[in-house]
Amino acid sequence: MGKMATPIPVDERIAQLGQRIRIARIRRGWSVADLASLAGIHRNTLTALEHGRPGTAIGVCFTVLWALGLDRTLDGVADPDADLHGKALETAWRPSRAGRPRKARDDDDF
């Protein structure tokens, strides 16, 4: 099986996140080795994340954000309350009345 290619917009967003992580690290005056040590990962893994390599595990990303004190910035990611499209679809598919259909009164007639 070959490696799955990510869509260009996804690659761009991953690269942007990597840049943001790099900026946060530099602002703190930390080296790659410093942050990698705090996150419990290898320096090469952090470098891959900062360079926006799509194969970097999501757990690594979350752990690095945690080490930077930025994990709370993830609270809005895929928030169901912010999913306007999903909410609209759910409303369109939801039955107008929940529950079992009631028996008609004349069903008991012989």
The pLDDT tens digits of the residues spanning 7-19 come to 999 999 999 999 9
Indicate whether 103 pLDDT > 80.
Answer: no
CB atoms within 10 A of CB 47: 15
Model confidence at 105, pLDDT cuts 50, 70, 90, reads: low
**Lowest mean pLDDT across 13-27, 43-57, 74-88, 91-105:** 91-105
For residue 102, what pLDDT is reported? Answer: 63
- Does the domain spanning 8-93 belong to CATH 1.10.260.40? yes
Domain boundaries, the chain: 8-93
